[in-house]
């Protein structure tokens, strides 16, 4: 597969064999970034490219010529960041996630990288915060710290974080309760709830709302909310990231109709004429 590294069967090597081959070729080395996360996720994910580039880290004092299909990353503090007992060895998941998130081209992709890992229980927001505190040179450090603290407070996805920051906070709406427990054919967690005003906001993200069965459960949750005397509003990516100001305006109307005495405040992105909403 590489100089001095062989596979003893015919046919296409698996992703795990390619990962091991890269680590052995650059030894001492460990999977880095996307490849470390891929190894932690295991073989069950079907959305992975089995022929993707394998990323490995080596001590920053070394120079390794990259073979085809392998990207080598010199790393400061190499030994302290690697879990040598894993198969294959890999950079600790917290460091790998921060490395990938800090390099994402868009904020929403950085949020999704962190939120998906926390949601899947690969790590916790607090562990990521602690790891980030020891890495002062991470790109977009302040932004990542804010995202992680929001995740620690209960936001569980990029979409939830987008609603919190772009809709709720940016327009001075009341602070909702995150992941409140409820019942709908078993225990469920409502994304955002305004208990004083009888309003529930459910956020339809790609990861958990992509099948007919999931959609059916969502509709049941909305119906149960109505039975309990609450209104349930379901928002998607367009409402949160595409039209957050317009969404805030309409949420403000719903809250005001249910007794909220405040008013929506315009954010810097709002139209100059959009200062408040009167139902």
Segment 218-239, tens digit of pLDDT: 656 666 666 566 788 888 877 8
Q: Are residues 245 and 218 in the same domain?
A: yes
Q: Which domain holds residue 191?
A: 172-257
Q: Are residues 85 and 96 in the same domain?
A: no
What is the reported pLDDT for 242? Answer: 82
Q: Are residues 59 and 143 in the same domain?
A: no
84 lies in some domain: yes
Rounded to whole angstroms, the Cα distance separating 54 from 13 reads 13
46 lies in some domain: yes
Q: Are residues 116 and 42 in the same domain?
A: no
What is the reported pLDDT for 231? Answer: 82
What is the reported pLDDT for 227? Answer: 54
266 lies in some domain: no
The residue with greater pLDDT, 9 or 208, is 9
Tokens representing residue 43 in the block: 């073989």
What is the reported pLDDT for 269? Answer: 87
Q: Which residue has the tokens 């005397």?
A: 229
What is the reported pLDDT for 277? Answer: 46
Q: Are residues 201 and 231 in the same domain?
A: yes
What is the reported pLDDT for 158? Answer: 77
What is the reported pLDDT for 206? Answer: 46
Q: Are residues 119 and 178 in the same domain?
A: no
69 lies in some domain: yes
- Has residue 276 got a pLDDT over 60? no
- Has residue 205 got a pLDDT over 70? no
Q: Are 262 and 172 in contact (CB under 8 A)?
A: yes
Q: Are residues 178 and 253 in the same domain?
A: yes
161 lies in some domain: no
Q: Are residues 2 and 59 in the same domain?
A: yes
Q: Which of 104-118, 177-191, 202-216 has the lowest mean pLDDT?
A: 202-216
Q: Are 102 and 138 in contact (CB under 8 A)?
A: yes
The 8-class DSSP code of residue 65 comes to: P
pLDDT tens column, 87-127? 999 999 999 999 999 999 888 888 889 988 998 889 999 99
Tokens representing residue 230 in the block: 């609450």
Q: Are residues 69 and 5 in the same domain?
A: yes
List of long-range contacts for 121-124, beta carbons under 8 Å, 24+ apart: 122/37, 122/40, 122/41, 122/93, 122/97, 123/93, 123/94, 123/97, 124/152
For the question of whether the overall pTM of this predicted structure is more than 0.95, the answer is no
What is the reported pLDDT for 46? Answer: 57
Q: Which pLDDT band, with edges at 50, 70 and 90, does 258 fall under?
A: very high
The residue with greater pLDDT, 81 or 191, is 81
Rounded to whole angstroms, the Cα distance separating 52 from 18 reads 10
CA distances from 123 to 5, 44, 200, 209 (A): 33, 18, 28, 23
As a whole-number percent, the residues of the chain with pLDDT over 70 amount to 82
163 lies in some domain: no
What is the reported pLDDT for 29? Answer: 97
Domain end, chosen from 52, 73, 90, is at 90
Q: Are residues 217 and 241 in the same domain?
A: yes
The residue with greater pLDDT, 147 or 226, is 147
pLDDT tens column, 40-80? 988 656 566 777 899 999 999 999 999 999 999 999 999 99
What is the reported pLDDT for 278? Answer: 43
54-59 and 70-75 beta bridge pairing: parallel
Q: Are residues 74 and 14 in the same domain?
A: yes
What is the reported pLDDT for 107? Answer: 83
24 lies in some domain: yes
Q: Are residues 80 and 96 in the same domain?
A: no
CA distances from 224 to 180, 189, 213, 219, 234 (A): 14, 13, 17, 9, 14
State how many domains the chain has. 3
104 lies in some domain: yes
Q: Are 176 and 168 in contact (CB under 8 A)?
A: yes
Domain end, chosen from 44, 73, 90, is at 90
What is the reported pLDDT for 181? Answer: 62
């Amino acid at each position: 597969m590489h100089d001095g590294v062989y596979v003893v069967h015919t046919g296409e090597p698996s992703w795990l064999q390619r990962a091991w081959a890269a680590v052995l070729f650059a030894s001492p080395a460990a999977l880095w970034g996307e490849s470390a996360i891929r190894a932690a996720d295991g073989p069950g994910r079907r959305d992975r490219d089995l022929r993707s580039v394998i990323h490995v880290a080596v001590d920053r004092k070394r120079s390794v010529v990259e073979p085809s299909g392998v990207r080598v990353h010199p790393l400061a503090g190499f030994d302290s960041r690697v879990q040598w007992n894993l198969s294959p060895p890999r950079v600790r998941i917290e460091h790998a996630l921060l490395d990938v998130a800090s390099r994402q081209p868009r904020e929403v992709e950085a949020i999704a990288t962190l939120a998906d890992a926390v949601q899947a229980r690969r790590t916790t927001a607090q562990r990521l915060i602690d790891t980030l505190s020891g890495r002062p040179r991470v790109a977009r450090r302040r932004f990542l710290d804010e995202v992680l603290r929001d995740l620690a407070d209960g936001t569980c996805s990029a979409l939830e974080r987008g609603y919190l920051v772009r809709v709720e906070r940016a327009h001075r709406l009341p602070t909702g309760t995150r992941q409140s427990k409820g019942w709908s054919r078993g225990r469920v967690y409502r994304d955002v709830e305004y208990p004083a005003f009888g309003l529930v906001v459910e956020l339809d993200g790609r990861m958990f709302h992509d099948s007919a069965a999931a959609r059916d459960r969502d509709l049941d949750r909305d119906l149960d909310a109505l039975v309990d005397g609450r209104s349930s509003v379901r928002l998607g990516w367009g409402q949160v990231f595409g039209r957050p100001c317009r969404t805030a305006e309409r949420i403000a109307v719903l809250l005001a109709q249910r007794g909220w005495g405040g008013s929506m405040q315009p954010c810097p992105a709002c139209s100059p004429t959009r200062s408040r909403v009167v139902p």
